[in-house]
Amino acid sequence: MKPESLPLFTHEGPDAIVAWRDHRPIDARRFLADVHELSQRLPAGRHVLNLCIDRYRFTVGFAASLVAGKCSLLPPAQAPEVIRQLHAFAPDAFCLTDDADCTIELPLLFYRDGVADIGGDDWVVPRIDPAQLAAYIFTSGSTGAPVPHRKTWGRLVRCVQFEAAQLAPLRRRGCAILGTVPPQHMYGFESTVMLPLQSGAALGAARPFFPADIAAELDRLPRPRVLITTPVHLRSLVAADIALPAVDLIVSATAMLPAALAREVEHRYAVPLLEIYGSTETGEIAARRTALEEQWRLWPEVRLEIIEGRCWAQGGHVEQATALADEIELRGPDRFVLHGRTADLVNIAGKRSSLSYLNHQLNGIPGVIDGAFFVREDEHNSVAGVSRLAALVVAPGLDAAQILTQLRDRIDPVFLPRPLLQVESLPRNETGKLPRQMLHALVAQAAVREPHLFA
């Protein structure tokens, strides 16, 4: 029996608000008209590289592609090399963009605002076959070539239905969702595009960037309102010491959120902060209130199993059994604790640890604002065949000796960083991750500047 088709969106009727842009609501009638207009204008290719920056336009582009039976391509980056690789993957791909200066080397289709005829009173929400391939979301991959991950409509819907159940403000009518993350990234796609479509909430079209923008955009949205963001943005909000309008829920993902930062955000803005765990491969699968609890709660129907030391996720919306990149300790059928990334395992002089575990210890030192361990790959680490770790630490009130004293209490001495470099901030990218080459560049600079540290 063919599974039942699922509606494109769940807003209650033509007058329900689908999006907000510059204080102005965009209702479902306008949204549907925009989707139909664009879907009829899409070129013949079956793959759409949707690079719209405005979140409403992105969402219209995604929905129009679905309605036209096309698959959206969501890449990790827009570097010419990545685009060439996408083109090799899907030679018929074209690019939908709302940027007049777009230089992507693919056939371009420019988004046009407000061209659709609103039309008559007929109101039929398109329904999509759950087995339809909705998107390929790419991860950067270890070899450099982007790795595609298939996402069918049904699994995407299922996942954000689970997410919606976790986000209390969505149960109230007219909830608005503001995101600081791009819609092309898995977390941003799920939480700022799929989630509003499937929960009847309204999405904020803007993608605020500076702390003052986040505050201003939040202020433009009606309550209840939810902020979908990352540890990087939360850190910058707190550091900017900026007043935030009342917000009903903050959601963080993409990188481990330190509990101290979670507590500070909850306290300062008087708001619950939910951290979400997931990956591009599996989508979102768990959540926790980081300020209050260590254990993660799995989405219903998703199961975890440890097989030969690796944790596998399956069931629920997870397309196929998938090995997770993290070390996970099960604490019951739907509870677990994260101990850091398996991919980050380090082995020094026969002792094993993980970078995430070490980072956790480093960031737990009072006075440490941010810090990261990494394996040095330069010449200096190969003395006696032992690769040593280095660490970058942001701790304005502490000196290196004080930090090392604290670390000695927490970790095995073989893992102590050589050197420990104090910096004013870490070179985190948009999603909070630390590109390896940036870390190594910083170490190389320090080696020139402070050669005594590298003895």
Site for another protein, rule CB under 8 A:
206, 208-213, 216, 232, 236, 239-240, 423-425, 427-430, 441-442, 445
Residue in 38, 266, 320 with CA at minimum distance from that of residue 152:
320
Q: How many Å is the Cα radius of gyration of the chain?
A: 23
Q: With respect to another protein, which residue has the nearer C-beta, 125 or 239?
A: 239
Distance CA 344, CA 326 (A): 9
Least Å distance between CB 241 and another protein?
9
Q: With respect to another protein, which residue has the nearer C-beta, 208 or 316?
A: 208
Name the DSSP letter for residue 367. T
Q: With respect to another protein, which residue has the nearer C-beta, 154 or 208?
A: 208
Q: With respect to another protein, which residue has the nearer C-beta, 402 or 429?
A: 429
Least Å distance between CB 100 and another protein?
13
Contact (CB, 8 A) for 276 and 284: yes
Backbone angles phi, psi at 188, to 5 degrees: -65, -40
Least Å distance between CB 269 and another protein?
18
3-class DSSP state for residue 46? Answer: coil
Q: With respect to another protein, which residue has the nearer C-beta, 40 or 103?
A: 103
CA torsion angle 34 76 195 222 (round to 10)? -70
DSSP 261-287: HHHHHHHHHT--EEEEEEETTTEEEEE
Residue in 33, 36, 64, 29 with CA at minimum distance from that of residue 50:
64
Least Å distance between CB 239 and another protein?
5
Q: With respect to another protein, which residue has the nearer C-beta, 66 or 391?
A: 391
Task: Please name the residue ranges forming H helices in 103-200.
Answer: 153-166, 186-189, 195-199
Least Å distance between CB 181 and another protein?
12
Least Å distance between CB 439 and another protein?
11
